[in-house]
């Protein structure tokens, strides 16, 4: 690793999200297709001459000890064979509580970067297990490939998806994942399907009807997107909604009409994570 390195922390979309059961500990058993995007946050890691870890800027409303980047660093530190202090600078692009996995991806990029910088010698599979302690969405970002996921999202099978363009629109209504998963009206009994069935026929998002009901802005965003496409879907537990397009031009044309109080971006769906491309394919 170079003295200072800047790495992407890509977003994900859940192309479908089926809830097929609930574990005794309350976590839900899912089937989901994770589509990685070539758009996201960015983290810069600069080794220091002392032993401190500094993270900046702070995220408003998130104490340092709860920041997933900080927590990822603390999990790796005891395993370091070549420990050094590090400045971590975060360029936050992904909306928080947006269903795009921003915090999880920040954590995964931190695990991947510090595993190298500190010579922790974790295999990728071991790093996925470490990451799962931070959140159900972390393993897929550590694994680094678009994937079909089962369990709570940690049993991953890499899949090759067509590299389409996506318009992602986020109304300013953060949705707390825990609130949706705890809700009594959530559909929890979708029959499991095979990955082949998903690749042939697609799927649905079991959280979408409930989130539409609880968060009218998400409902509005889906209705708006449905004016242009037939495949508008919510990612994760929202609040982001998305649609796929054959070309960047088509996606940008619709983006140009997005109401100004909603944030949006256009990105390409990728099979290999941009962070893996940088770290392992250079």
Annotated binding site: 95-105
Are 72 and 9 in contact by the 8 Å Cβ rule? The answer is no
Task: Tell me whether residue 12 is one of the annotated catalytic residues.
Answer: yes
Interatomic CA distance for residues 252 and 239, integer angstroms: 20
> Which letter does DSSP use for residue 205 in this model?
B
Residue 28 binding ligand CDM, by CB under 6 A:
yes
Quick one: 108 or 167, whose CB is closer to ligand ATP? 108
Regarding 259 and contact with ligand CDM (CB under 6 A), the answer is no
Distance CA 45, CA 3 (A): 8
Which of 16-24, 64-72, 117-125, 161-169 is the region at the interface with ligand ATP (rule: CB under 6 A)? 64-72
- Residues belonging to the binding site for ATP are 95-105
Torsion of CA 42, 48, 51, 52, to 10 degrees: -50
Cα separation of 211 and 65, whole Å?
Answer: 29
Could you write out the DSSP letters of every residue in 47-66?
E-SSS-EEEESPBTTB-GGG
Q: Which helix (H) or strand (E) holds 208?
A: helix 208-214
Stretch that binds ligand ATP, among 102-110, 163-171, 186-194, 225-233 (CB under 6 A): 102-110
Task: State the binding partner of 203 from ligand CDM, ligand ATP, none, CB within 5 to 8 A by kind.
Answer: none
Residue number closest to ligand CDM, CB atom: 135
Residues forming contacts to ligand CDM in the complex (CB under 6 A) are: 14, 17, 26-28, 30, 32, 101, 104, 135-137, 152-153, 177-178, 181, 236-237
Residues forming contacts to ligand ATP in the complex (CB under 6 A) are: 59, 62, 66-69, 94, 96-104, 106, 137, 177, 236-237
Residues with catalytic roles: 12, 137
């Amino acid at each position: 690793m170079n003295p200072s390195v800047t790495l992407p922390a890509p977003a994900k979309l859940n192309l479908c999200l089926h809830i097929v059961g609930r574990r005794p500990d309350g976590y839900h058993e899912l089937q989901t297709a994770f589509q990685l995007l070539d758009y996201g946050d960015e983290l810069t890691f600069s080794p220091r001459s002392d032993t401190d870890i500094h993270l900046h800027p702070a995220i408003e409303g998130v104490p340092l000890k709860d920041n997933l980047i900080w927590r990822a660093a603390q999990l790796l530190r005891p395993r370091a064979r070549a420990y050094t202090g590090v400045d971590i600078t975060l360029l936050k692009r992904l909306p928080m509580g947006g269903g795009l996995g921003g915090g999880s991806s920040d954590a995964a990029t931190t695990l991947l970067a510090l595993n190298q910088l500190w010579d922790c010698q974790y295999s990728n599979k071991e790093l996925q297990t470490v990451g799962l302690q931070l959140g159900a969405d972390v393993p897929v970002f550590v694994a680094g490939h678009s994937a079909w996921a089962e369990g709570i999202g940690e049993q991953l099978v890499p899949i090759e998806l067509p590299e389409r363009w996506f318009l992602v629109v986020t109304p300013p209504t953060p949705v707390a994942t825990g609130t949706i998963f705890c809700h009594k009206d959530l559909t929890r009994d979708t029959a499991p399907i095979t990955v082949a069935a998903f690749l042939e026929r697609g799927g649905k998002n079991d959280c979408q009807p409930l989130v539409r009901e609880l968060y009218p802005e998400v409902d509005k965003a889906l209705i708006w997107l449905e004016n242009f496409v037939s495949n508008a879907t919510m990612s994760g537990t929202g609040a982001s909604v998305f649609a796929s397009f054959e070309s960047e031009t088509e996606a940008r044309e619709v983006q140009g009409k997005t109401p100004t109080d909603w944030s949006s971006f256009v990105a390409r769906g990728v099979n290999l994570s941009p962070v893996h491309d940088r770290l392992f394919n250079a």
